[in-house]
Amino acid sequence: MNTPTADLQSLCHRLPPGRFHADAAYQAAFESDGLTAFRQRPLGVVIPECEQEVIEVIRWCYEQSVPFVARGSGTSLSGGSMPVADGIVISLNRLNKIIHVDPDNRIAVVQPGVINLHVSAAAARHGLYYAPDPSSQKICTIGGNIAFNSGGAHCLKYGMTSNHVIGMRVVTATGEIVNLGGPTLESIGPDGTGLFCGSEGLFGVALEITLRLLPKPECFHTVLVGYRSLRAAGDAVSAVIDSGLLPGAMEIMESLAIQAAEAATACGYPDGAAAVLIVELEGPREKIAAEQQQLDAVIAATDAFETVVAADDQQRAAIWAGRKSAFSAVGKLSPDFLVQDGVVPRKRLGEALERIEKLSLASGLRVANVFHAGDGNLHPLILFDDSIAGQLQQAEALAGKILMMCVEMGGSITGEHGVGIEKRDYLPEMYDVSTIELMHRLRAAFDPKTIANPGKMFPGADAPALLTHGLHPLEKAGVISRE
Amino acid sequence: MVGNRSKPTLSAVTAETTLVSSRSLSGIVEYEPSEFTFTAMAGTTLNEINDTLRDKRQYMPFDPLLADHNATIGGTLAAGISGPGRHRYGGVRDFVLGAQFVAGDGQLIQSGGKVVKNAAGFDIPKLLVGSCGRFGAITQLTFKVFPRPQGIQTYQVRCSDHAMAATVIAAAARGRWELDAIDYSAKTRMVWLRISGAAEISQAIADDMQRVGVADSLTRVDSDQAALIWQQLGSFEFGPELDCVAKVPTTLRQMIGLADWCDTSKHAAVLHNSVAGAISWIALSQHDLDDFDTYLRETEVTGQLMRGPRAPDGRLVIGNRGINHIESAIKHAMDPVGRFPIFER
């Protein structure tokens, strides 16, 4: 799809001066996202200042049949916001207004470039917060969260992003403005808001979003437990679930990740643990007082060798710092790594981890596991060295085997990072031809010319250049971390 | 596709449309208490599912309605309706994980997944919520479930008017107490608060709400009376002369307006608000339908009739149409041969 320079001039004419940039510095700045393995320089970058400018760009793209990729802070771990060659990047970071917070109806209306954590900050004075908390929440934007239906550590109890988005005004890839949902939790007719969440930018751009806010939990009871084996930690998760408790979060890290986190943050995790389990209860003090006794009794009956209960906010923060830093810390053990995001049924977690260990041994590559144990969402981190010929291919082959294992166990290829570029070849492992055909038809309803974020989610498109691996520059700087 | 037709307005189609019953598509296919998931055929009744979950101390937190009328899980999803418990953890849209259905071209579609977390592909199961069977014949559904609370107590707050009720609702919903449900009966001017947990914990929370001034007085409702209160909504029992029931998504301000409209309606329409203002259930006589439609249009509010005749001009929605052009394109994608009726806004 070649676009003559003259056409770019026509785009410039539709926008105020200074919005469109086609110089190499901008092309380079937007060539990648959180999946640093892939890079692709776009034709140019538009940085709109308002909604109408976004609409103008998309209408121009539709008229000229030029592909576009809308993005926020570019923290996608699946390559979801990778540019397209001969395409335009629309950077939405300047659409960053929190339009209003309505404490009585517990909603916030925001623009797509608003940073996730800023919503909670704006709601805090009303005792409210925005629940979805991807680890990159200090920097990732609501628009990106919607596109990839982002998760976080609290999904079992609170759900994903889509469970907290109740309405949107969107511009489809044809330039049409559509209202989905509305200002209340319920709407009439098919749930278009639910469909749009997780559509990976293939439908268009959300321009104004209505989010559901929740009362901030009053109390936390955070427990860190050390186990001599991964299986014992897995059994403890089952015991907590069987007890009837519904923790806000349940996370497991295994030894390699523990050592790396300890080295990075001195988080005080138990020495010599093969696995640590973090369980956190949250709620009103009256309920937590009762539930913490119940949880402590459940944990005491497991095969734990050390149990630490966070005595205050500082200790709780230290426990979470270890967990949240785990991926970037493990990443420092190796020049390069790949992270996977598969899901297995919770009861098969132990079996899945044993199989990953065998696959790791067979491939000769180390794998560190950190995962959301409550919802069976694995994050195996595959360590390799790209300077050694063939190791990247080995790592990708191992990652593929892990994804296939997740599907075979009745799970999913992605729990919260989305398919993007990274896992698009595996989508047919989850859905049959008819279902994928239906997805293509749905996409065409919003984007008949296939210009919105092409090359993502579905197999068959040209792969962009695979260049480098390693930590994202922002991870190296300690600004963002991964789930 | 129809289940046991507990929301008959939604399946009141033209004579040339063939109704297919899901009644024989009944039964729980898989239930994994440790996974917090179950899969059931579309025609499985809510009663059967509720009973099965109760045995394992679990429940559907979205609190589906009309179980006493043999409502099915497929119909509940297609109608997109949730009960008072939606307040705490979310509605039917927030708990559906996977959907199997037959598309208009006869293809069997398996969308979503069977695990509690899945971000692969478009979220078609959510699109089916509220679609009223217009996109495909739903055959099987997978849902997330949660542990059942140890106990539930109901408290009531008597309000002098609807504005006071809105103030009580807003304060109760915003607080630290994590209430299970917040409903309002406009006719009796009573706000009902459902608090989960052991009785002494619920009482401590109610005492604190009173202490901080959410309301001057929170009175505990005995369990028999509480069961009756929640069952009346759960069964749409609003009075024999009120033959229409509509769901109207509302803000608190819109709820007050609707409550005022009910107070002055010719045939004594009633409003039961659920989910802290978000859902207004209006029960009315069909002789008030035209006035109701006019009021909703004037205030730009959209509703949907679940019981009673269709809207005055034969549409599925009442009041503001909320025309959405993408909906017809989505309909064509889901049902390219036009096998199913259209969703008439």
Q: Where among B103, B126, B147 does a domain terminate?
A: B147
The matching CATH number, chosen from 3.40.50.1860, 3.30.43.10, 3.40.50.620, 3.10.20.440, for A5-92 is: 3.30.43.10
Identify whether B334 is part of a domain: no
Any idea what the CATH number is for the domain that residue B218 is in?
Answer: 3.30.70.100
Q: Which residues pair with B38 in a beta bridge?
A: B31, B143
Q: Quick one: B136 and B156 in the same domain? A: no
CATH class for the region spanning A217-333: alpha beta
Distance CA A248, CA A267 (A): 21
Output b/e per residue, A446-478; b: 16+ Cβ within 10 A: bbebbbbbbbbbbeeeeebeeeebbbbebbeee
CATH 3.30.465.10 spans which residues of chain A?
98-215
Q: Quick one: B25 and B118 in the same domain? A: yes
Based on the structure, what is the number of domains in chain B?
Answer: 3
Shortest CA distance from B170: residue in chain A: A104
Q: Quick one: B37 and B102 in the same domain? A: yes
Mutate to test the interface with B, among A286, A413, A434 (most CBs of B within 10 A): A286
pLDDT tens per residue, range B89-124? 999 999 999 999 999 999 999 999 999 999 999 999
CATH 3.30.43.10 spans which residues of chain A?
5-92
* Residue A321, C-beta contacts closer than 8 angstroms, at least 6 positions apart: A265, A267
CB contact under 8 A, B36 and A241: yes
Q: Quick one: B299 and B194 in the same domain? A: no
Distance CA A474, CA A75 (A): 9
Mutate to test the interface with A, among B100, B118, B316 (most CBs of A within 10 A): B118
Identify whether B80 is part of a domain: yes
CB contact under 8 A, A189 and B317: yes
Strands A249-254 and B219-221: unpaired
The three-point CA angle A49-A50-A53 to 5° equals: 95
Distance CA B186, CA B171 (A): 18
Lowest average pLDDT, out of A32-36, A286-290, A471-475, B28-32, goes to A471-475
Q: Which residues pair with B157 in a beta bridge?
A: B191
CB contact under 8 A, B174 and A127: yes
Domain around B268: 244-319
Q: Quick one: B110 and B93 in the same domain? A: yes
Lowest average pLDDT, out of A63-77, B1-15, B124-138, goes to B1-15
Distance CA B261, CA A92 (A): 43
CB contact under 8 A, B176 and A215: yes
CA distance B341 to chain A (A): 14
Does A412 contact B at CB distance below 8 Å? yes
Higher pLDDT, A239 or B316: A239
Q: What is the mean pLDDT of chain B?
A: 94
CB contact under 8 A, B115 and A103: no
What does CATH list as the number for A98-215? 3.30.465.10
Residue with tokens 């005995």, as numbered in its chain: B222
CA distance A268 to chain B (A): 30
CB contact under 8 A, B327 and A431: no
Does A418 contact B at CB distance below 8 Å? yes
Does A245 contact B at CB distance below 8 Å? yes
Looking at beta carbons, which residues of chain B come within 8 Å of A345? Answer: 32, 35, 114-115
Q: Quick one: B37 and B57 in the same domain? A: yes
What are B211's two structure tokens?
């202490």
Shortest CA distance from A377: residue in chain B: B117
CA distance B69 to chain A (A): 22
Looking at beta carbons, which residues of chain A come within 8 Å of B106? Answer: none
Looking at beta carbons, which residues of chain A come within 8 Å of B138? Answer: none
Contact between A283 and B178 under an 8 Å Cβ cutoff? The reply is yes
Mutate to test the interface with B, among A76, A104, A237 (most CBs of B within 10 A): A104
pLDDT at A243: 93
The three-point CA angle A250-A254-A260 to 5° equals: 110
Identify whether B344 is part of a domain: no
pLDDT tens per residue, range B245-283? 999 999 999 999 999 999 999 999 999 999 999 999 999
Does A364 contact B at CB distance below 8 Å? no
Q: Which amino acid is at A375?
A: D
SS3 breakdown of chain B: % helix, strand, coil, rounded to 5? 35, 25, 40
pLDDT at A304: 94
CA distance A23 to chain B (A): 35
Distance CA A171, CA A159 (A): 26
What are B268's two structure tokens?
């004594």
CATH 3.30.70.2190 spans which residues of chain A?
217-333
Any idea what the CATH number is for the domain that residue B68 is in?
Answer: 3.30.465.10
pLDDT-based confidence at residue A1 (cuts at 50, 70, 90): very low
Does A462 contact B at CB distance below 8 Å? no
Q: What is the DSSP letter of A219?
A: E
CA distance B134 to chain A (A): 9
Looking at beta carbons, which residues of chain A come within 8 Å of B324? Answer: 178-180, 189, 192
Looking at beta carbons, which residues of chain B come within 8 Å of A452? Answer: none
pLDDT at A177: 96
Does A189 contact B at CB distance below 8 Å? yes
Mean pLDDT of A315-335: 85
Residue A467 above 50 pLDDT? no
Shortest CA distance from B111: residue in chain A: A435
Residue A470 above 70 pLDDT? no
pLDDT at A477: 53
CB contact under 8 A, B122 and A195: yes
Identify whether B295 is part of a domain: yes
pLDDT-based confidence at residue B38 (cuts at 50, 70, 90): very high
Residue A262 above 90 pLDDT? no
pLDDT-based confidence at residue A463 (cuts at 50, 70, 90): very low
Mutate to test the interface with B, among A170, A184, A424, A426 (most CBs of B within 10 A): A184
Q: Where among B224, B257, B283 does a domain terminate?
A: B224
Cα distances (angstroms) measured from residue B21 to each of B24, B41, B44, B64: 7, 12, 12, 20
Q: Quick one: B24 and B120 in the same domain? A: yes
Does A468 contact B at CB distance below 8 Å? no
| Rg, C-alpha atoms of chain B | 20
Identify whether B330 is part of a domain: no
Contact between B240 and B281 under an 8 Å Cβ cutoff? The reply is no
Mean pLDDT of A70-98: 93
pLDDT-based confidence at residue A350 (cuts at 50, 70, 90): confident
Mean pLDDT of A84-90: 93
Shortest CA distance from B117: residue in chain A: A415
What proportion of chain A, given as a percentage, has pLDDT over 70?
94
pLDDT-based confidence at residue A392 (cuts at 50, 70, 90): confident
CB contact under 8 A, B119 and A415: yes
Any idea what the CATH number is for the domain that residue B269 is in?
Answer: 3.30.70
What are A25's two structure tokens?
């510095």
Residue A472 above 60 pLDDT? no
pLDDT-based confidence at residue A203 (cuts at 50, 70, 90): very high
Does A184 contact B at CB distance below 8 Å? yes
Decide if the complex's ipTM is over 0.90.
yes
Looking at beta carbons, which residues of chain A come within 8 Å of B207? Answer: none
CB contact under 8 A, B118 and A445: no
CB contact under 8 A, A446 and B117: no
Distance CA A22, CA A43 (A): 6
pLDDT at A35: 78
Looking at beta carbons, which residues of chain B come within 8 Å of A152? Answer: none
